[in-house]
Chains A and B, each alone.
Chain A
């Protein structure tokens, strides 16, 4: 199994502030799930942001899909982002679009045919128990439903890497089981899944590599 994502002595700081992440090194292989847990402010979101190519490392080497992408140009970073599914606060649902349209956005960017788009969205909304809400707009959804729409949008393009930063805002057992099953299914299909979360009890049943981050350092 080749590494999809490789951090090598990565450091990250916002501007001139102290480093949020220091000497982060780890690899994530195809079909692997990794859960990084840590307290608030420990650097989880920065780690997820780097893995989703939303942030650039201050030092170290970041390799993704066998491409050196720490200093990659914006156009290359955008091309690589098409292969990543990101779930997190940085990517809100667009209020002017329905659930179906929000979920279809990555497919439009990937240039998927309308027929295949309809098919994939139908299956995914069914899986995420959102079929009845397909034409609703985000403001009409509950927190849990919004989480599921964001997850559906992240995975609809069958990304090779899924980065989930606190994917569930208020997980109940049914929701957690659904999301864990989805991540396991994605891993079976060959995707790598990186989950960062403060509380990871909801993912206790997930077969995953477990890492802990404290004060910007992986333990």
Chain B
């Protein structure tokens, strides 16, 4: 089928492409930050909800039996999501070989539950102590979760920005191409045919801008990851983006194109529909 030629002035291509690249880079960084912060926040939230139950008995066999009973009791509780006996190798840095020590059990509370019912349940048992050192990590977990949400919102805002760039560029082209638009109107062109005139440049600009921005963003991520790994950043032990997240990042240019094309076409159709 014969297509309408490029009737609209292509001015603004460079600016639109640079805008898409900038926002795509920002979206890449925001998405990567959201992934990493989300993973870290979840890990530290889990640590903050984890209590350690120590079971001590002078008879090692009796200690093992009581520890097993406590574990069984903990697994029955509805406010606990995970129960795990601390392996001797995990205690190795603190306990000398051959030294006797209590049996240690890590119990992680479900989100939204506090530790007091558990403490009350274990209070009457001799030789059982409950420690909640992870509680000190709660503010850090809250901070990371907040930063995770902020990164998500920044990512969302970049997509709004891409839609705005595409819509404003399409509008400028349509207004600048009034002579051609008036002719198409008189020849009976349909809305989708006019939308196609802004779709092609929007697609090209968003695709090249999106790929450029993604590459720039990935380079920035690798640089930041390297810098963080070389630094001692305490609780944030490692910056690792899972494979699935890399796949999502690779999907940013198509998403950028989809948003740009949809915004450009919607703008063209709205302007065309208002034309009488």
Contacts and interface: CB of A to CB of B under 8 A. Distances in A.
Interface of A: 52, 54, 74-75, 78-84, 86, 90-92, 94, 96-97, 101, 104-109, 111-114, 117
Interface string B172-194: 00000001100111111111010
B2 A108 contact: yes
A109 B4 CA distance: 7
Given A94-B179, A94-B180, A109-B193, A78 B185 contact: yes
A74 B276 contact: yes
20 contacts: A78-B188, A78-B190, A81-B187, A82-B188, A83-B188, A84-B188, A86-B186, A91-B186, A94-B180, A94-B183, A96-B7, A104-B2, A105-B184, A105-B187, A106-B187, A109-B187, A109-B190, A111-B1, A113-B1, A113-B2
A54 B183 CA distance: 11
Interface string B265-276: 000000001011
Contacts of B193: 108-109
Contacts of A91: 183, 186-187
A90 B186 contact: yes
Nearest to B184: A109
B3 interface: yes
A82 B188 CA distance: 5
A48 B151 CA distance: 61
A95 to B, nearest CB: 8
Interface of B: 1-5, 7, 179-180, 183-191, 193, 273, 275-276
Contacts of B186: 52, 54, 81, 86, 90-91
A111 B188 CA distance: 12
A10 to B, nearest CB: 19
A81 to B, nearest CB: 4
B19 to A, nearest CB: 25
A108 B188 contact: no
A81 B5 CA distance: 20
A143 B1 CA distance: 32
Contacts of B187: 81-82, 91, 105-106, 109
A86 B4 CA distance: 19
Nearest to A94: B180
Nearest to A77: B188
Contacts of A90: 186
A125 B234 CA distance: 78
A79 B191 CA distance: 11
A78 B3 CA distance: 18
A114 B276 CA distance: 30
Residue in A82, A90, A104, A109 with the greatest tally of chain B CB atoms within 10 Å? A109
